[in-house]
Structure formats: C-alpha cells, structure tokens
Amino acid sequence: MPKTSARLLALLSLLQARRDWPGTLLADRLDISLRTVRRDVDRLRELGYPIAAVKGPDGGYRLSAGTELPPLLFDDEQAVALTIALQVAATSSGDGLADAAARALNTIRQVMPARLRRRVEALQVTAVERPTTRSAAPVDGDVLLAISAAVHAREILRFDYDSPATDRHAPAADRAPAVDRAPRRVEPHHVVTWDGRWYLVAWDLDRAAWRTFRVDRIALRTPNGPRFTPRALPGDDVASYIIGKFRGSSGNGEGGSDGGGWPCQGTVILDRPAAAVALYTREGVVEDAGSGRCRLTLGSWSWPSLAAAIARFDADIEVVGPGELTDAFAHLAGRFTRTATAKGPPT
C-alpha cells in the first residue's frame, strides 16, 4: 500500500479527472479498502478540499470544480489584485509567462467565491501591445473594479480628474493652479492598458467628445448616474480608437482613427488564445474573445501583406472586416494553390 501522502495525492488526482467517483471504484483503482478511502477523503477535507458525498447504490465522492491545488488564502483585495495582474500578463506578457498566467487566471476564477467572482468577471481588460519602457502608474484596485463594473452595467460615471498640471501624485509645490475642477460626467466604454498605464475610454457628456482618462488620476464620486445606451466608438472598436489616439489621431469623435499609421488595417477572430497571439503582436491590439479565441486588429502596408501576417499564426481565421482583407486572403489562397500544384523544374 502506498504511503499516506502519496495515496492522498493519487486520490486527489483521480477526483480531478472526472466529476463523480463511486467509492468502490476508487478503492479498486488505489488498491485500498473502502474504509481507507473514507478516511483519506476526510483527510483531504481537513486540508480544505471541498469533497462532497454523492448518493447512490454504492455511494461516492465529488471534488468541487476548479480545485486543482492546495487552497491559498487571499483577502478580497489580494484576490482582485492577483486577478488584474494575471489578466494583463495573460494578454501582454512577452517573456514566456503568458500561457502560465492564462492558466493561473482560469484556476483562480474557478475556486473564487461566487460573491467575489461576480465582481472580477466584470473586469475585462484589453492589453494593447507595444514595447514598454516605463513602469505602470499606481492604480487603486477598487477604483479599477468600480469603473469596470460601470462599463459592464452601462452606468454614467462621475469623478474628479487630475490633469497633468494638477496631478495629485506630484509634490504640492510642483502643481499648477487648477483651472477646471468641475467633476466629469462620462459614459464609460472600455478599460485598456497601453504602454504600462491604465486608461478609461469614455464619452464626455459635458464636452460632447470622446476622451481617454488615465485611471490613476481618477477619483470617483458616488453614486453612479443612470444607465445609458452605448455609442459607437470612432473606428467602431476600441482597438482602432486606441491605436489612432496614441499615434496622433484626434480621437475626438469627429471621424475615425487614422488606421494606426498603416494604409491597411483589418480585424479578424483567430482560433488561438489571446495570450499566445499577444506574444508575437507588437503593433496590433489583441482582445480575448472567449473559448480559446481572440480578436486581433493589425495593420500593414498592403492587404496581401496583412493577410500573410495574420496567416502566420497558423489558426482558423474569421474576418471581421473590411472586405478588402477577405479579398486578400482569396488572392493569397489562389497564389499558394498555384505554387503547390506547379510542376517542379526539370531534373
């Protein structure tokens, strides 16, 4: 009979492999008695694993979904901070840790209490990929959660905003006199990361224009305002807007973005996780699309070159737009077909 520690690990592994296990089958697989199975289950419960008894002719056991590691104890603030960090790392890490971060994020979400899981699921962050040369500005996790919840609920936000001249993190002697300290009223649209900083993309109700606010300069006011119907961003998606905004486009709602500086820009859905695609996308925007898929917005100097750049990810592709990108894939498909069926040079 294996030692107790090894036997407990083997039992835990079996419980993770399928939903329900009859007690007699566990005893057979581990080559132990049913009484020992019951005793080992009690030991795992003492360690914190939620193992439920299953009713039936032979009885059985079930391990609650998602418990894959010994329990870790986090308070709410730590759990939120860990979720945020893993979400960013899963979509923007370039050091080979993205896949591990994505798996860790999934594990944390599965074992998180329902009360807390509902809060963090509202926090959907888009990591806009580019080389970063500065450290991220400090952001209050509660503020980030509150903003994301307002985005999810489509509720108007009210907040005080520190302009660069009145940055509350700067020494008082270095701050310029405040010019306009009236609270902002905005329709929050999206939370993004870009170059190591967090931003809120929103429609400013008082200025009647699209604005991008640094989250570390936001001081929320409560309660939120009424619900609103979301407007269409310039360029119709947050990726186009952010790329244009930070490459010189006005981003004020008077037309679309400048295409991110590329003459051709398109969006596709790739049958690959965002974490895997973001590792090799410095000039594009990657957003998680769920079910192991991602939304990629990318630019290039021509439509065929853009199609070729997307094809390098070796995944099934669904073109979101524009039609020129679909035509470019058809063009390349014909060229590749002719190449593949052409006779080789005479020997």
- Environment class of 27 (CB within 10 Å of its CB; exposed 0-12, middle 13-18, buried 19+): middle
Our measurement of the distance from residue 312's CA atom to the centroid of its chain's CA atoms, rounded to an integer in Å, reads 22
Same domain membership, residue 234 and residue 184: yes
Q: What is the pLDDT of residue 129?
A: 52
Residue 120, H or E segment = helix 114-121
The domain boundary residue, chosen from 192, 212, 241: 241
Q: What is the pLDDT of residue 194?
A: 66
The residues that bridge with 182 in the sheet, in sequence order, are none
Same domain membership, residue 227 and residue 143: yes
251 within 8 A of 294, measured Cβ to Cβ:
no
347 inside domain = no
Fill in the DSSP letter of residue 280.
T
213 inside domain = yes
253 inside domain = no
Range of the domain at 40: 4-63
Omega within 30 of 0 (cis) for the link into 138: no
Same domain membership, residue 131 and residue 114: no
pTM of this structure:
0.44
Same domain membership, residue 232 and residue 164: yes
CATH number at residue 295: 3.30.70
Same domain membership, residue 151 and residue 77: no
Same domain membership, residue 182 and residue 159: yes
Q: What is the pLDDT of residue 188?
A: 93
255 inside domain = no
Dist CA 256 CA 240 (whole Å):
8
Fill in the DSSP letter of residue 173.
G
The domain boundary residue, chosen from 23, 45, 63: 63
Q: What is the pLDDT of residue 252?
A: 37
Dist CA 54 CA 339 (whole Å):
60
Q: What is the pLDDT of residue 91?
A: 58
Q: In this structure, which amino acid lies at residue 88? A: V
8 inside domain = yes
Walk along the chain (347 residues) and give the pLDDT tens digit of each residue. 456 777 887 887 787 767 778 888 888 888 888 889 888 888 888 877 888 888 766 678 887 755 444 454 466 776 777 777 777 666 554 444 566 677 777 777 777 777 777 777 666 666 655 544 444 556 777 788 888 889 888 999 999 998 655 444 444 433 444 444 578 999 999 887 665 577 898 999 988 988 889 888 999 998 898 999 988 887 667 776 776 676 644 333 333 333 346 778 889 999 887 767 766 666 677 777 767 788 888 888 789 989 998 998 888 999 998 999 999 999 999 888 888 887 655 55
| Cβ atoms within 10 Å, residue 214 | 17
Q: What is the pLDDT of residue 255?
A: 31
252 inside domain = no
Same domain membership, residue 232 and residue 141: yes
SS3 (DSSP) at 206? coil
Same domain membership, residue 131 and residue 222: yes
Same domain membership, residue 169 and residue 203: yes
The residues that bridge with 218 in the sheet, in sequence order, are 161
254 inside domain = no
Pairing label, strands 197-204, 184-194: antiparallel
Same domain membership, residue 303 and residue 210: no
Dist CA 161 CA 234 (whole Å):
23
Same domain membership, residue 130 and residue 163: yes
303 within 8 A of 325, measured Cβ to Cβ:
yes
Same domain membership, residue 204 and residue 151: yes
290 within 8 A of 124, measured Cβ to Cβ:
no
Angle between helices 114-121 and 76-92 (to 10 degrees): 40
Two tokens at 303? Answer: 């439509």
183 inside domain = yes
The domain boundary residue, chosen from 16, 40, 63: 63
Q: What is the pLDDT of residue 273?
A: 79
CATH number at residue 14: 1.10.10.10
Omega within 30 of 0 (cis) for the link into 273: no
Total domain count, the chain: 4
